[in-house]
Structure 1
Amino acid sequence: MTEQLSTEQAAAPRPARPRPKRGEGQWALGYMEPLNKNEQSKKDDNPLNVRARILNVYSKRGFASIDPADLRGRFRWMGLYTQRAPGFDGGKTATLAEEELDDEFFMMRVRSDGALLPPATVRALGTIGQDFARDTADVTDRENIQYHWIRVEDVPTIWERLEEAGLSTLEACGDSPRPFLGSPVAGVAADEIIDGTSALEEIKRRYIGDPAFSNFPRKFKTALTGHPSHDVSPETNDIAFVGTVHPEHGPGFDVWVGGGLSTNPMLAQKLGVWVPLDEVPDVWEGVASIFRDYGYRRLRSRARLKFLVADWGVERFREVLETEYLKRQLVSCESPASPVGHRDHIGVHDQTDGRKYVGVAPTAGRVSGTLLVGLADAMERHGVEGARFTPYQKIVLIGVPADAVDALLDDLDELGLSGRPSGWRRNTMACTGIEFCKLAIVDTKDRARDLVAELEQRFPDLDALVPDGITVNVNGCPNACARTQVADIGLKGQLVMHEGQQVEGFQVHLGGATGLQANFGRKLRAHKVTSAGLGDYVATLVVNYLADRTGTEESFTTWVARADEELLKGDKTLEPVS
């Protein structure tokens, strides 16, 4: 006979049935099943394995033999994306399937990771561009060289040449540790706090190509600098090590986490710690492991570290890092002061050893294989030790003999690499744009170069009026590869209506900055600019700034924050400053 339930037992709530795990697809919480096609593809086969198929199958059988899962997924771990097929305008970007936009050629990224490249390596980069990439070679804001028109049949030979020169395309793209940003003047600048070169080298040696770190929720961007100018845009990286000085322990690094731009921009948060040089790789591993294990994998739109940091808060993030991964506490230290603006190292500067370093500016990062060969010739001719790329699409030549500077600058001018550029050329960046990128909506490289030439003519004396210049970042889509939101004038490509027609244009972000005034640019409601009208708009904006600023010390960023919208939109034009 069944025993009758007591009143208390009858009233007691029944145990809840276990619910299926939902959440954000975090591995550390037991949710290992793939939640989207990207996660499924990585589970099906580690993307690092595609290298063997490229070498042994695809390069021999050609483009048509490539498995679609490799072509539009795992190839990225080898630094390869299909480029945009010709003939598709910006209106097709969001309406056609990715395979319809695929060309049978690839964009290839070569990572430099802040390394000093001797003349022979610069020459190798140039000859690869000449021989296999229709003479293309762009300097990107991730310190990469980026080629176009690459055939899969040529990839093995290109890799051989790169490896001989000490370079690689491994994990230059994909859900992986993307190429590192290092200070372009590491180890030579007279005002450097600490040289972090050895730490970047060790991170690369330990973790690039390691299957344990080849499957992040999405990309993972690293920056490191020991220079007080914070010359690697640390605010916009997933993890950044920033030079600091502890009152007792001396020089080391603070750790910043969770920066990133795109459609949900967030600035990195500072842990406020002191990490000695030899422990930087361990801390990098800990932060990368948190991203791998706790990062959100359910939605690609939330699969960056910045969302986890925003949800957890920096205190909990540090606690998890210390207790679960490092197994020790970090030394607390006040975060270093932020500089005003950024440092691109353009021009001639003193090194600690009596030699000079010289920063030069290609326009919007556009160079060529032939230009890089010419640069290697000039470096050898004048006894230059090496070159580094910068996060601002520039090149810094290291170890220039003092008595060779003037002749070197003259040779560089002939190449189109000015060490004495106008402020417009110095401060303009542009992403790849619709010429090659399947995500782009508008042209960027040519538009940026034309804009620079136009503004140089309109404002030939601007450098004297605004010594720090006005930064202009041109992006072909919302993904902010050119860091649109942290420029004085950020231009996000989109189609706009003009006289009843859809034409190429830009949404405008104004007054963004890194450093002391770090913020995201001000967006003006319903304000769009056509590509054709861009020069007139920027010219009006500059005239209004010069006429309305309160003294020469007021920065463009400060002015934008207080200026009337009609001045910022160009609806009203003030009298130019005489």
Structure 2
Amino acid sequence: MPPAIKRKRGEGQWALGYQEPLNKNEENKKNDDGLNVRRRIIDVYSKAGFDSIDPADLRGRFRWLGLYTQRKPGIDGGKTGMLEDEELDDRYFMMRVRIDGGQLSGPQLRTIADISTRYARGTADITDRQNVQYHWIRVEDVPAIWDALEAVGLSTMEACGDTPRVIIGCPLAGIAADEVIDATPHIRDVHDRYIGSPEFSNLPRKFKTAMSGCTAHCTVHEINDVAFVGVVNDEGETGYQVFVGGGLSTNPMFAKSLGVFVKPEQATEVWRGVISIFRDYGYRRLRSRARIKFLVKDWGAAKFREVLEKEYLGYALPDGPEPAPPLPRRDHVGVHPQRDGGFYVGFAPRVGRVNGELLGAIADLAERYGSGRVRTTAEQKMVILDVPEENTGPLADALAEHDLQVHPSTFRRQTMACTGIEYCKLAIVETKQRAMDLMDELEKRLPDFDQPLTINVNGCPNACARIQTADIGLKGQLVVDENGDQVEGFQIHLGGELGTSFGKKIRGLKTTSAGLTDYVERVVRRFDEQRTEGETFAQWAQRADEADLK
């Protein structure tokens, strides 16, 4: 009798007939839509307390409403990958408030500040996706927090989970003098139609969107699952080029251009087509291969465009131009004119770390010197809009009194850090305070350094702080010091550049946390000494002798 023929297991793609869950996460999603946990949080868990929460909800469906359990204090990084979830879980939550497009009114910012003070022990961080994250949230308080947020038009809906996450946009949408297109109405349309809809509440993994007409390309379209980037075609019409399949983590890939031209009125429909392809054709067998970037890598941009047009849109999109190159600094820090005659004032908190009291002060200043409108950025920064020219100086001075710098050093302006071991269950090392200490010390040691330089600090390999695309990317891990002891440290990535190349790793190039500042100072000094006119750190790092990078 011939041996049985082994059938190759599929990737769990719904469109190819694979409907049965191939892992526990897929089984949980099939058993109950993550959106349904909202009712249980309100009716059951907030009343009966933490111990009443079903584990499948606690470590799964809670994410659909923006909630993760945070790390129990006192567990060192060496135990991160060794302990079970229930051993790492604290009885408190991180809560993520989605701020689509980074747009906040005065009342919205005041509400965020009040929630921080009242329910989150004052914690609040601006993320690199324009959200605000709280910590120390009790499940008993979640319904009251939701009521407060929803009263001003905010929510935590699908801020986490296998869902369409926050849509990032340029904080200057609608006011920048040089923007290609105002993406605000298209962000709002996608949000209002599809966020919280069962149509896209069961995706293979998270789905990150950017929509922007910013000439600086502040929404980093190269590393989003889908990005709509403002362009002007040969006929002088404004619209979007579409990129798909970007993402970092342990297997980084840059997004690929579809080579199309999308008219503004088509943007929502095309977004729906792209996310539908991901829902239907995305890989569901292994979580490690479930992001859309793996599908795009296997298919290529041409096939992806063909499937989009033939199966989901029902019409062909015209070819379109590629966007212009980005500006050297892809943020909006400083004082700059708006198209309406007013000014915006962008400022730099310390690696996105703020608090309820500080957010309240920012709301006061925005109201006193501007219109009250405030924006968050994808670089963990903030912007106050609509400031009369005569108010820009007094506002900058008032912000400085709160250690919010309008004219920061390169190190304050371009250092980013993820949450780190303080609260994150995946982290191995401390990040926020380490990055702040690094900034402070570099400002003292290199007071005259003024070249663009990104330093991104991450607590684990997952690259929430975009280590692979930074000039100096620091990936947290345990290393051995000169005494042979295992201590916190970092693997170093050098010369990353969005859309061009990922930072290179040099064999054995690591540092302890204690030796981090000395290393960064050394490599920055070498760059400053050796660079040619107009040469970026990434360009220098690619040509520099290996000895100069150590």
Aligned mate of 2:524, from 531, 542, 547? 542
Report SS of the residue matched to 1:190. Answer: coil
- 2:114 maps to which of 127, 130, 150: 127
1:494 aligns to what?
A: 477
| Aligned match of 2:11 | 24
Deviation at 1:402, TM superposition (A): 1.6
Cα distance in 1 for partners of 2:69, 2:102 equals: 27
Tell me how far 1:19 sits from its aligned partner. Answer: 7.0
Report what 1:51 is aligned to: 38
1:21–1:31 CA contact under 8 A, matched in 2:
no
Aligned-partner SS, 2:104: coil
Q: Pairwise mapping of residues 75-90 of structure 1 onto structure 2 (< 5 A)?
A: 75-90=62-77
For 1:264 and 1:379, the matched residues in 2 are separated by 41
The farther-off stretch of 110-119 and 493-502 is 110-119
In the other structure, the counterpart of 1:521 is 503
Answer whether contact 1:384 1:401 (CA < 8 A) is retained: no
For 1:333, give the aligned amino acid.
G
- CA distance in structure 1 between the aligned counterparts of 2:235 and 2:352, rounded to whole angstroms: 42
Give, in whole Å, the separation in 2 of the partners of 1:278 and 1:416.
43
Q: Is 2:492 aligned against 1:508? A: yes
C-alpha RMSD of the superposition: 1.4
Q: Which residue of 2 aligns with 1:8?
A: none
Aligned to 1:554: 535
1:83 alignment partner AA: Q
C-alpha separation in 1, matches of 2:4 and 2:310:
32
TM-score, length basis structure 1? 0.93
- Alignment partner, residue 572 of structure 1: none
Contact 2:489 2:511 in 1 (8 A): yes
2:548 is aligned with what amino acid? L
| Aligned mates of 2:314, 2:8 — CA distance in 1 | 28
The alignment status of 1:367 with 2:354, answered yes or no, reads yes
Is the CA contact 1:230–1:342 (under 8 Å) kept in the aligned structure 2?
no
What secondary structure sits across from 2:365 in the alignment?
helix
Structure 2 residue 86 is the aligned partner of structure 1 residue 114: no
CA contact (8 A) 2:102 2:130 kept: no
Q: By how many angstroms is 1:337 displaced?
A: 2.5
In the alignment, the residues of structure 1 paired with residue 375 and residue 201 of structure 2 have an alpha-carbon distance, to the nearest angstrom, of 26
Equivalent residue of 1:462, what SS? Answer: coil
The 1-side partners of 2:193 and 2:241 are apart by 21
Q: Does the alignment pair 1:141 with 2:118?
A: no
Superimposed CA distance per residue, residues 257-290 of structure 1 (whole angstroms, 9 cap, x where no aligned partner): 0000000000000011111111111000000000
For 2:106 and 2:125, how far apart are their aligned partners in 1?
17
Say which is worse superposed, 401-410 or 48-57, in terms of deviation: 401-410
Superposed CA offset, 1:178-215 (max 9, x none): 11110111000000011010000000011101101001
**Other-structure match for 1:349:** 336
1:286 aligns with 2:270: no
CA-to-partner distance for each residue in 1:279-310, whole Å, 9 max, x for gaps? 11100000000000000000000000000000
| Partner in structure 2 of residue 567 of structure 1 | 548
Question: 1:465-491: per-residue Cα shift (whole Å, max 9, x none)?
Answer: x2xx21100000000000010000000
Counterpart amino acid of residue 537 in structure 2: F
Matched, 1:174 2:161: yes
For the residues of structure 1 that align with 2:524 and 2:4, how far apart are their CA atoms?
A: 65
1:118-517 equivalence runs, <5 A: 118-248=105-235, 250-463=237-450, 466=451, 469-498=452-481, 499-514=483-498
Name 1:7's counterpart in structure 2: none
In the alignment, the residues of structure 2 paired with residue 523 and residue 157 of structure 1 have an alpha-carbon distance, to the nearest angstrom, of 47
| SS of 1:482 mapped into structure 2 | coil
Q: Which amino acid aligns with 1:431?
A: C
Secondary structure, aligned partner of 1:221: strand
Q: Paired residue for 2:91?
A: 104
Aligned pair count reads: 548
Contact 1:486 1:520 in 2 (8 A): yes
Instruction: Name the SS of the counterpart of 2:465 in structure 1.
Output: coil
Report the CA distance between 1:17 and its aligned residue: 9.5
Which sits farther off after the overlay, 71-80 or 381-390? 381-390
Letter in 2 for 1:502: Q
* Whole-angstrom CA distance in 2 between matches of 1:99 and 1:249: 57
Residue 148 of structure 1 aligns to a residue whose secondary structure is strand
After superposition, give the CA deviation of every residue in 1:156-198 in whole Å (9 maximum; x if it has no partner): 0000110112100000000000111101110000000110100
SS for the counterpart of 1:32 is: coil
The CA deviation string for residues 377-414 of structure 1, in whole angstroms up to 9 with x for no partner, is 11111233411111100001111122211111111111
Using the alignment, how far apart are the partners of 1:68 and 1:103 within structure 2? 13
Moved more, 299-308 or 269-278: 269-278
Distance in 2, matches of 1:460 and 1:563, equals 24
Give yes or no for contact 2:102–2:131 (8 Å, CA) kept in 1.
no
Contact 1:124-1:161 within 8 A present in 2 as well: yes
Q: Is the 8 A contact 2:215 2:327 kept in 1?
A: no
* Structure 1: runs of 5 or more not aligned: 1-13, 570-578
1:489/1:276 CA distance change after superposition, 3 Å? same
The answer to whether the 8 Å contact 1:83/1:106 transfers is yes
Contact 1:50-1:70 at 8 Å conserved across structures: yes
**CA shift for structure 1 position 118:** 1.6
Which letter maps to 1:169? T
Structure 2: distance between partners of 1:35 and 1:359: 47
Distance in 2 of aligned mates of 1:280 and 1:137: 33
Letter in 2 for 1:358: V
What is the aligned partner in structure 2 of residue 3 from structure 1?
A: none
8 Å CA contact 1:375–1:415 kept in 2: the answer is no
Give the aligned partner of residue 66 of structure 1.
53
**How many angstroms apart in 1 are the aligned matches of 2:305 and 2:329?**
27
Equivalent position SS for 1:172: coil
Identity of aligned residues (%): 61
Deviation at 1:341, TM superposition (A): 3.6
Q: Secondary structure at the match of 2:330?
A: coil
On the 8 A contact 1:257/1:269 being kept in 2, the answer is yes
Q: What is the deviation of 1:316? A: 0.3
Among residues 20, 37, 40, which one is paired with 2:24 in the alignment? 37
d(CA) in 2 for partners of 1:383, 1:396: 11
Paired with 2:259 and 2:430, the residues of 1 have a C-alpha distance of 41
Letter in 2 for 1:416: D
Asked whether the 8 Å contact 1:385–1:400 carries over to 2, the reply is: no
The answer as to whether partners of 1:345 and 1:359 remain within 8 angstroms in 2 is: yes
More displaced stretch, 412-421 vs 306-315? 412-421
Given that residues 370 and 384 in structure 2 are in contact (C-alpha distance below 8 angstroms), is that contact kept between their aligned partners in structure 1?
no
The one-letter code matched in structure 2 to 1:147 is Y
**1:342: Cα distance to partner?**
4.1
Deviation at 1:117, TM superposition (A): 1.2
